[in-house]
Structure 1
Amino acid sequence: MKKVVSGLFLVIVFIAAAVFGVIHFFPEKVVEVCANSERGKAGLRFKSIAVGELTYAYLEGGTGEPLVLVHGFGANKDNWTRVAEYLAPHFKVIALDLAGYGESTINFDLDYTITAQADRLHEFVDALDLKSFHLGGSSMGGAISGTYGSKHQDRVLSLWLIAPGNVLSSEESELGLLLKEGKNPLITQNAEEYKSLIAFVFEKTPHIPSPILGVFMREAFANKALNDKVFAEIVKEKLSLEDLLAGLAIPTLVLWGDHDRVLHVSGAGILCKAMVNASCVIMKNTGHLPMIERPEEAARSFLRFHHF
């Protein structure tokens, strides 16, 4: 019996050592495997499409009416994989990498304003031949989605705005105060700043093994120059989402975390007051990215909105 227990112990130690070795020496591969695993769990498949001179990478899966999902600043299509698991039984989910992000074309010379990205989104959905669809976006992606809805009301069946950017009349957020001090926690250039960013966008900071965290850091640092440009262009544009959406009748769910430090939760009430057919849901104990931090609860809110 002792030999059996000893043998099992050695097997467990060997497996643990092997897993540690893979994570430590091949973190990029581990990130890829984990991403593919989450995509598979949600029933999403990787696809790409050429639109003019740009190539868009996107994830697609599920059944039902199309639901196009737009990520935020410094993010990518995989921000939606966790929430897509709950949405895919009811919608055909399409989560794209915007131009300049993820695996889509990255061109430093493009215009990255909210308006320009909304126009490119129109080209993307046209290329997919989507005549009508639901549209959701997080943060910057929420501002892009709202802008698109204001320009193409006949195409959008509903809007899902998750802590959208550019609600200019909202109360000052912690990010806003830091920007006035010349600090931008959303753009990082060292490990300490990146770890602070993770804590800044989540209410409950997720545990990320150091080697995998290193992969995310290297990607962020490599994109710093482009992120600086994008952020500056968005600020300079001064687009007011509440003005664009004033009187808009598209059925809209505005979802916000009550502990959002990036964009003040007061923006939710402003948008719901400005729009004709909007509902607000404030998620408790949640930060800036509800669809990642509390994916099932975020999905349930959207599904209830659509009476599923």
Structure 2
Amino acid sequence: MSETESPAARAVPVVPPGPPPRPGEGERLRTVSVPGATLTVRYRPTPDPGAGPALLVHGLGGSSQNWSPLMELLADDLDCEAVDLPGFGESPPPDDGDHSITAYARVVIRYLEAAGRGPVHLFGNSMGGAIVTRVAAVRPDLVRTLTLVSPALPELRPQRTALPTALMAVPGLVPLYARLTRDWTPEQRTRELLALCYGDPQRVTPEGFARAVEEYERRLELPYFWDVMARSARGVVDAYTLGGQHSLWRQAERVLAPTLLVYGTRDRLVSYRMARRAGRAFRDARLLTLLGSGHVAMMEDPDAVARAVRELLADTATTSERSATPRG
């Protein structure tokens, strides 16, 4: 069995809920129906009518709010939309209860087809990185460029700090965890997640922390919150163990779109050492390694990520112009 076909260690990356934007920050929400799901889409109108379309996909436990800092910085460059995957953020669970990576990729494809915005600049963080990798592999016609922030691709030797989150994928343990931590305050839960996902949790302002706590409180009141977390965690594990042509690493090799890979050196969930393997797997890859950043670089260091995205856009535009220039 080749390395790309080997069963992966079962570490499941988790993304904290992001603080909701302040009123008047320029973001809007709309609800969209696609076959099998109802989606909430967060968007920020761009002043440039010619800006390229972009779709941003969050990770396990996250929401479209995780992309708000980056969307604001890229407002002059891209027409950004961020989707709440079924069961996360403001989106209800899918009709069929399927929270696999393949099912989420299918939802993203259906949305892109319905919206008619493709090909788009596609972004994914953590579990969202696995989802959009699959989308880019099976539907290259829908993807112009690909940006992956700490993508949840299988690791043979995961970091020790990532292993506890794998317990969410074990049947029955999420409800047990919910009962054992029922006395935890939203502040305590939020603080634990930020410590896990940020390289330096002190970068979160008091105002940002308060808004994150408010969002976490809202989610805990949802009757399906823990069930969606458990099902989605099992979906990530199942995707990690697939071999052959369905392996996420094999699908990474099929991606044609120019790809930006973003890793943080203090990521406790996805090791930055995976950057080397990812750089080999994606055929047209650029790598940004952020010293001191953790699992959610687009929230922790959005300026650096935005600069790298602009460089990717410029490189892609230059390549397209050269391809379109007649040779005489």
TM-score scaled by length of structure 1 = 0.79
Task: Write out per-residue CA displacement over residues 125-158 of structure 1, whole angstroms, 9 at most, x where no aligned residue.
Answer: 1111123111011111111011100001122111
2:214 is aligned with 1:215:
yes
Q: Deviations over 1:29-80 (max 9, x none)?
A: xx76x44344x1xxx3222212134221112222411011001111111111
Q: Distance in 1 between matches of 2:33 and 2:237?
A: 29
Residue 233 of structure 1, CA deviation: 2.6
Q: SS at the partner of 2:255?
A: coil
Name the residue aligned to 2:39. 56
**For residue 143 of structure 2, what is the aligned residue in structure 1?**
156
Helix, strand or coil for the counterpart of 2:39?
A: strand
1:69 aligned onto 2:56: yes
Q: How does 1:24-173 map to 2 (within 5 A)?
A: 34-38=21-25, 40=26, 44-60=27-43, 61-62=45-46, 63=48, 64-107=51-94, 109-169=96-156, 171-173=157-159
Unaligned residue ranges in structure 1 (runs of 5+): 1-30
* Aligned equivalent of 2:198, options 197, 202, 212: 202
Which whole-Å CA distance do the structure 1 matches of 2:212 and 2:252 have between them?
38
For residue 220 of structure 1, report the CA deviation from its aligned partner: 4.4
Larger RCO (CA within 8 A; separation ≥ 6): 2
CA distance in 1, matches of 2:168, 2:86: 26
After superposition, what is the alpha-carbon deviation per residue over 1:103-129, rounded to whole angstroms, capped at 9, x for unaligned?
A: 122248521111110011111111111
What TM-score do you get using the length of structure 2 for normalisation? 0.75
Greater Rg by CA:
1
Give unmatched runs, 5+ long, in structure 2.
1-18, 316-328
Match of residue 15 from structure 2: none
What SS does structure 2 have at the residue aligned with 1:300?
helix
SS at match of 1:306: helix
Separation in 2, partners of 1:175, 1:119: 31
Distance in 2, Cα, partners of 1:195 & 1:108: 33
- Residue by residue, what CA displacement relative to the aligned partner does 1:135-190 show, whole Å, maximum 9, x if unpaired? 01111111101110000112211100110002334x4223433357x589x98743
- The letter for the 2-side match of 1:232 is R
Amino acid at match of 2:30: K
- Count of residue pairs brought into register by the alignment: 270
Aligned pairs (5 A) from 1:271-286: 271-286=278-293
Cα distance change of structure 1 residues 131 and 200 upon mapping to structure 2, 3 Å threshold = closer
User: 1:233 maps to what in 2?
Assistant: 235
Give the Cα–Cα distance (whole angstroms) in 2 for the partners of residues 150 and 250 of structure 1.
9
SS in 2 for 1:307: helix
- Are the structure 2 counterparts of residues 302 and 37 from structure 1 closer, same or farther at C-alpha, using a change threshold of 3 Å? same
Question: Is the Cα–Cα contact under 8 Å of residues 36 and 94 in structure 2 kept in the other structure?
Answer: no
Task: Answer whether contact 2:239 2:248 (CA < 8 A) is retained.
Answer: no
Contact 2:168–2:229, Cα closer than 8 Å, also in 1: no
Offset at residue 241 of structure 1 (A): 2.4
Q: Determine the C-alpha separation between the residues in 1 that align with 2:195 and 2:154.
A: 23
Inter-partner Cα distance in structure 2 for 1:168 and 1:203: 20
Q: What letter matches 1:289 in structure 2?
A: V
